[in-house]
């Protein structure tokens, strides 16, 4: 009799057929199916995963990165490194990033080899418990390799940058403002799940509930590459909690994602091109709210762009943060103009993201569906709690496919 273990896999409601229902149980709104997994099955899965990791290693090229790391380490060891602080920061940040990339790939390869040894041991000793442990380790490793595979698809000019995200309520009144606040929490929870640092620059609260708009940054390399696929109009369908007649309401919120500017971008903003206004910060409460003129609003006169920041208690800190936001938007404007010029040369053959990109339906059924990739889940609560990796991964793959056409 072949050695085997059991594997639990999630099913969508439409996949639960009559023959599978006796083997399924509901948990958190999903169905699960237990499948018999033999050692031969797991070895085949490991071979497929090995091929995926090998292709990733070919793209990342750890050997070339080790050569660059050695050169950067020599520069970092120079006694006069910090005489030029700007260059020193570039060297040390680049060195840290490359070491992290190489360590990640090496760690995944080591884990893959360890699971292979574990499966061989389970076969030799006819140990089902060891095989079950190998299956558990395989599941975690598969998810990590898939995440790294997505990272290798982020090859755009600004994909390695941190992300500047703006969420704004659109049509739908108070429900739209509430929806915007739900999206803000969703993205902040997503970043928190992954250990990414975030900073909220500005929040404009609506009168009754929710927010009119909010701007925040995700301080993580490749954050822009990942979150840029979230740009567009999001739609929510639910029974409105603000309607005393309990009617169904459709509301909309927009998400804009920009790359955070770096010093090497050299976006010069002359003082005569901006107007700086100060005002008292607003919000639901706090010691510094409505007490000092610490909030800053900057208007870029040539383009009419307006940015504001009231997150910090210091007016100078708010001005510096607002200038960073303005630089990001000017960079995006320049990039858009460049892309428009390219589209003019190539003709109307480019891809349009469209206005509406994802639908969140809470009534009469529960489903979140991406209208571009057709990726969907039946658990909106988990999505609003930051479980959006599946949507981001599908979006990155979809964008890559569109670029290859």
- Say whether both 174 and 260 belong to one domain: yes
- Say whether both 241 and 287 belong to one domain: yes
Domain around 226: 163-346+354-404
- Say whether both 167 and 138 belong to one domain: no
The span from the CA of 284 to the CA of 204, in Å, is: 10
The kind and range of the H/E element at 222 are: none
- Say whether both 101 and 171 belong to one domain: no
CATH code of the domain containing 9: 1.20.58.410
- Say whether both 370 and 224 belong to one domain: yes
- Say whether both 80 and 170 belong to one domain: no
Instruction: For residue 187, tell me if it sits in a domain.
Output: yes
Instruction: For residue 158, tell me if it sits in a domain.
Output: no
| Domains identified in the chain, total number | 2
- Say whether both 271 and 304 belong to one domain: yes
pLDDT of residue 339: 62
Instruction: For residue 391, tell me if it sits in a domain.
Output: yes
- Say whether both 119 and 170 belong to one domain: no
pLDDT-flagged residues of the chain (< 70): 1-37, 262-266, 282-292, 338-355, 403-405
pLDDT of residue 282: 67
- Say whether both 171 and 198 belong to one domain: yes
- Say whether both 115 and 179 belong to one domain: no
The span from the CA of 307 to the CA of 73, in Å, is: 40
Q: Which of 115, 130, 152 is the last residue of a domain?
A: 152
pLDDT of residue 102: 92
Q: Residue 382: is it exposed, middle or buried by C-beta count within 10 angstroms (0-12/13-18/19+)?
A: middle
pLDDT of residue 181: 96
Summarised one tens digit per residue, pLDDT across range 40-93 is 888 899 999 999 899 888 888 899 999 999 999 999 999 998 888 878 888 888
CATH code of the domain containing 381: 3.30.70.1660
Instruction: For residue 157, tell me if it sits in a domain.
Output: no
> What is the DSSP annotation of 79-126?
TTGGGSHHHHHHHHHHHHHHHHHHHHHHHHHHHHHHHHHHHHHHHHHT
- Say whether both 130 and 171 belong to one domain: no
Q: Which of 133, 152, 171 is the last residue of a domain?
A: 152
In what order do the strands lie in the sheet containing 24-27?
4-11, 30-38, 24-27
Helix and strand counts by DSSP (H, E) for the chain: 9, 14
The span from the CA of 103 to the CA of 139, in Å, is: 20
The span from the CA of 15 to the CA of 24, in Å, is: 11
Instruction: For residue 183, tell me if it sits in a domain.
Output: yes
pLDDT of residue 190: 96
pLDDT of residue 183: 97
> 30-60 in b/e burial notation, b at 16+ Cβ within 10 A?
bbbbeeebebebbeebbeebeeebeebbeeb
pLDDT of residue 143: 87
pTM higher than 0.75 for the full model?
no
Summarised one tens digit per residue, pLDDT across range 202-221 is 899 988 899 999 999 999 88
- Say whether both 175 and 285 belong to one domain: yes
From residue 381, give the alpha-carbon distance in Å to each of 167, 274, 377. Answer: 19, 43, 10
């Amino acid at each position: 009799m072949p050695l085997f273990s059991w594997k639990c896999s999630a099913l969508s409601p439409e996949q639960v057929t009559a023959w599978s229902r006796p083997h399924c149980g509901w948990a958190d709104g999903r169905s699960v199916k237990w499948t018999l997994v033999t050692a031969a099955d797991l070895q085949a899965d490991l071979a497929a995963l090995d091929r995926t990791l090998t292709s990733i290693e070919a793209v990342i090229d750890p050997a070339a990165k080790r050569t660059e790391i050695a050169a950067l380490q020599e520069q970092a060891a120079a006694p006069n490194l910090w005489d030029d602080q700007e260059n020193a920061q570039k060297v040390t940040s680049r060195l840290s990033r490359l070491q992290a990339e190489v360590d990640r790939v090496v760690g995944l390869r080591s884990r893959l080899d360890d699971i292979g040894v574990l499966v061989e041991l389970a076969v030799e000793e006819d140990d089902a418990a060891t095989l079950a442990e190998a299956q558990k380790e395989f599941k975690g490793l598969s998810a990590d390799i898939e995440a790294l595979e997505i990272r290798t698809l982020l090859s755009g000019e600004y994909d390695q940058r941190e992300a500047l995200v703006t969420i704004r309520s659109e049509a739908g009144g108070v429900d739209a403002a509430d929806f915007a606040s739900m999206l803000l929490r969703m993205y902040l929870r997503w970043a928190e799940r992954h250990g990414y640092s975030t900073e909220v620059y500005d929040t404009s609260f609506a009168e009754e509930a929710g927010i009119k708009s909010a701007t925040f940054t995700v301080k993580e390399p490749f954050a822009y590459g990942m979150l840029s696929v979230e740009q567009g109009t999001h739609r929510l369908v639910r029974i409105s909690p603000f309607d005393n007649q309990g009617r169904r309401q459709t509301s909309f919120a927009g998400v804009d994602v920009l790359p955070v500017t770096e010093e090497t971008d050299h976006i010069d903003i002359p003082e005569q091109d901006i107007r700086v206004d100060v005002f008292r910060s607003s919000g639901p409460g706090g010691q510094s709210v409505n007490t000092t003129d610490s909030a800053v609003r900057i208007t870029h006169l040539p383009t009419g762009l307006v940015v504001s920041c009231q997150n910090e208690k210091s007016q100078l800190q708010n001005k510096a943060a607002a200038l960073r936001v303005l630089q990001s938007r000017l960079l995006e404007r320049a990039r858009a103009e460049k892309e428009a010029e390219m589209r003019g040369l190539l003709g109307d053959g480019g891809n349009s993201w469209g206005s509406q990109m994802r639908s969140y339906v809470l009534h009469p059924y529960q489903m979140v569906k991406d209208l571009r990739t057709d990726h969907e889940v039946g658990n909106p609560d988990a999505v609003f709690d930051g479980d959006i990796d599946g949507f981001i991964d599908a979006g990155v793959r979809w964008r890559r496919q569109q670029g290859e056409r």
